[in-house]
Amino acid sequence: MKIYNTMSRKKEEFVPIEPGKVRMYVCGPTVYNLIHIGNARPMIVFDTVRRYMERKGYEVNYVSNFTDVDDKIIKKATEEGVDAGVISERYIAECKKDMASLNVRPATTHPQATQEIDGMEEMIGTLIRKRYAYPAADGTVYYRTRSFSGYGKLSHKNIDELEGGKRSLLVSGQDQKEDPLDFVLWKPKKEGEPFWKSPWCDGRPGWHIECSVMSRKYLGDEIDIHAGGEDLIFPHHENEIAQSEAANGTTFARYWMHNAFLNIDNHKMSKSAGNFFTVRDILEKYDPMVLRFFMLSAHYRSPLNFSAELMEAAANGLERIRTAVENLRFKAENAREGELSGQERELLERAKEFEDKFDQAMDDDFNTADAIAAIFELVKFANTCGEAEHTSAFWKELEKKITSLCDVCGLIVEKKEELLDADVEALIRERQEARKAKNFTRADEIRQELFDKGIVLEDTREGVKWKRA
C-alpha cells in the first residue's frame, strides 16, 4: 500500500510503527456553526482510508479532535449571550449527526481541546524548560521558531523567506516576541472570555498546541498518519511538528496526508468567503450517499468542484449499483438451493479480478475514482451473468462482493424498504386498536416503526392522518 507523503512529496510504501496497527490523527473542525460540505471532504476521505486499512487487516486507532475554544466560538457565544461551552456542545452534537448521515464512523476517540488543558500546560512547560519556548512579560508564551532546525520541512518553506514576506505570521502581541516568526502557545485572557489558570497567566491555549497534546495522549509520541485539509499544512501542521518533535524528541508522524479543497466555481468553499453549503442544505435535496459518492468520485488530492451536474452523475452511478444489488438479491431469493457448481466457481474467480482491481486502486494512494470504476466493472459483470440456472449461493456471493467493496467506501447501497399504502394503513389500524386497549407501549412502537420508514403520523379530530416525510 502506497501513501503520498506531503513531507517527502512522494508516494511511499506504508510500513506501520507496530505491525498490524495504525495510529492515525485527523484534525477536526472548529465547532461554531453547522459544518459545510468542504469540511465533510476530509471526514469522508479519511473515514474511507480507515475502512480500507481495516479491509487490509489493520487495527486502526483513529483520533479526531473538536476545537472547542476559539475566537469564532467566543464571538458567537457573545452574540447569543451564552457560554462558549453551549455553542461548542451544540455544534459538536450537530456535527456528529451530519457524520452519521454520511456514514462517517465515529473516531475511536474524539478529544476536545477544553478537556485537555492540563496536558497542554505540561507540554508548554517542557518546551520552556528545553528553551524552545519562552513567556513574555504579559504572560503570553511563544514558541521560538528558529530554535527548531526542521522548521519548514513539511511545507517546504525556507525559514528566511518566511521572515521576509509573510506578514500573516505576525500575530497580536508581536512587540513582545523575540522574533516575528515566533508563534503563540498560550495567551492571556480577555474580558469576558473563558480562561484557565496557568503558571504564566490566566488565559487560554493557542490553536496548534492542542493537536500535539491530544495526538501524544491518545496515540503516543510517534504516530503513523497525520491528516487534514491542505490548508492545514502551513502553519498548523508545521507548528505541530515543531512542538511535538521538540517536546518528545522523536519524529511526530511518519506519513502526512492532505486532501485538496472542495471548490465552488473554482474557489475554496469556506465560511469566511460565504460561498458554502452546509451538509444540512445538501441533504434536503440529495440522499447522503449521493454526497458521499460524489466526494469519492475524485482522488482526494485533486481539487473537486461542486456542481449540480456532478451530483446528478453521482446519483445515477449510485442508482446503477443499487439496482444491480437489488436484482442480485431478487435472484438469490428465487434461485434453487445447492452447492456452487464448477462453472459458478469459475465465474466467481473472474469476479475476483475486479476486487483485485479495486484493491490495486486503493493501494495506489487511495485512488477512490479508480476503485469506484472497478465496482462498476463488477456490476457490469454481474449483470452479464444472466438469468441462467445459477444457485442462490452464487447470486449471494456475487452480491456480497459488490456490497463489501461499497462498504469500504462507506456507501450504503441497500434500497430502503418502502411500505405500501395498504401496509401503512394496516399498521395505523393496529395502533388504534392498541390505544383502545390502553396498550400504549405497542402504540408507540408502531408510531416509531412507521417513523423509521419515513411515515409521519398526525392525530387529528377527524382521525389519524399520515404522510411520507
Indicate whether 275 belongs to the interface with ligand AMP (CB under 6 A). Answer: no
Q: Minimal CB distance to ligand AMP: which residue?
A: 229
Instruction: Name the 3-class secondary structure at 59.
Output: strand
Count of residues that bind ligand AMP according to CB under 6 A: 17
Closer residue to ligand AMP (CB): 228 or 317: 228
Closest to Zn ion by CB, 27 vs 31, is 27
- Stretch in the footprint of ligand AMP (CB under 6 A) among 2-10, 82-90, 254-262, 409-417: 254-262
- The whole-angstrom separation of Cα 42 and Cα 27 is 9
Please, what is the minimum distance in Å from the beta carbon of residue 275 to ligand AMP? 9
Q: Are 82 and 263 in contact (CB under 8 A)?
A: no
**Residue of 200, 261, 300, 366 interacting with ligand AMP (CB under 6 A):** 261
User: For the chain, what is the largest distance between any 2 Cα atoms, rounded to a whole number of angstroms?
Assistant: 84
Side chain identity at 360, as an amino acid letter? Answer: Q
Closer CB to Zn ion, 98 or 210, in the complex: 210
**At closest approach, how far in Å is the CB of 405 from ligand AMP?**
25
Please give the residues from 196 up to 235 whose contact with ligand AMP meets the rule CB under 6 A: 228-229, 231-232
Of 259-267, 334-342, 430-438, 444-452, the segment contacting ligand AMP by CB under 6 A is 259-267
Stretch that binds ligand AMP, among 34-42, 117-125, 244-252, 441-449 (CB under 6 A): 34-42
Contacts with Zn ion, residue ranges (CB under 5 A): 27, 211
Least distance CB 351 / ligand AMP (angstroms): 35
Binding flag, residue 297, ligand AMP (CB under 6 A)? no
CB 195 within 8 A of CB 203: yes
Find cell 456490497 and name the residue.
Answer: 403
The one of Zn ion, ligand AMP, none whose footprint includes residue 211, by CB under 5 to 8 A per kind, is Zn ion
Q: How many CA atoms lie within 13 A of 447 on its CB side?
A: 15
Kindly indicate which of the ranges 1-9, 196-204, 255-263, 444-452 contains the residues binding ligand AMP, using the contact rule CB under 6 A. Answer: 255-263
CA distances (Å), 138 to each of 142, 175, 188, 202, 282, in order?
11, 11, 7, 10, 46
Report the C-alpha gap between 390 and 345 in whole angstroms.
11
Closest to ligand AMP by CB, 139 or 229: 229
Residues contacting residue 355 through CB under 8 Å, at least 6 positions apart = 374, 378, 401, 405
Q: Are 212 and 247 in contact (CB under 8 A)?
A: yes
Helix (H, G, I), strand (E, B) or coil at 148: coil
Instruction: Please provide the distance, in angstroms rounded to a whole number, between the alpha carbons at the two ends of the chain.
Output: 44
Smallest distance from ligand AMP to CB 33, Å: 9
- Assess contact for 464 and 458: CB atoms under 8 A: yes
| Cross-strand pairs, 12 | 3
- Give the whole-angstrom CA distance, residue 385 versus residue 347: 8
Smallest gap from Cβ 69 to Zn ion, in A, equals 14
Residue 282 interacting with ligand AMP (CB under 6 A): no
Nearest to ligand AMP of 260, 379 (CB atom): 260
Residue with grid cell 456532478, as numbered in its chain:
310
Cα separation, 122 vs 216, in Å, equals: 12
Does 193 interact with ligand AMP (rule: CB under 6 A)?
no
Interacting residues with ligand AMP between 36 and 75 (CB under 6 A): 38-39, 41-42
Question: Which set of grid coordinates corresponds to residue 226?
Answer: 497525520
Q: Residue 262 in contact with residue 381, Cβ under 8 Å? A: no
* 3-class DSSP assignment, residue 133: strand
Q: How far is the CB of 236 from ligand AMP (least distance, A)?
A: 8
154 binds, among ligand AMP, Zn ion, none (CB under 5 to 8 A by kind): none
The item of Zn ion, ligand AMP, none sharing an interface with residue 39, based on CB under 5 to 8 Å by kind, is ligand AMP
Residue 38, binding choice from ligand AMP, Zn ion, none, Cβ under 5 to 8 Å by partner class: ligand AMP
Given the complex with ligand AMP, which of 15 and 93 has the nearer CB atom?
Answer: 93
- 111 sits near ligand AMP (criterion: CB under 6 A): no
Q: Is the peptide bond before 235 cis (omega within 30 degrees of 0)?
A: yes
Contacts of 58 (CB under 8 A, 6+ apart): 16, 20, 21, 22
Q: Which amino acid is located at 378 in the chain? A: L
By CB under 6 A, name the binding residues for ligand AMP: 27, 29-30, 38-39, 41-42, 228-229, 231-232, 259, 261-262, 268-270
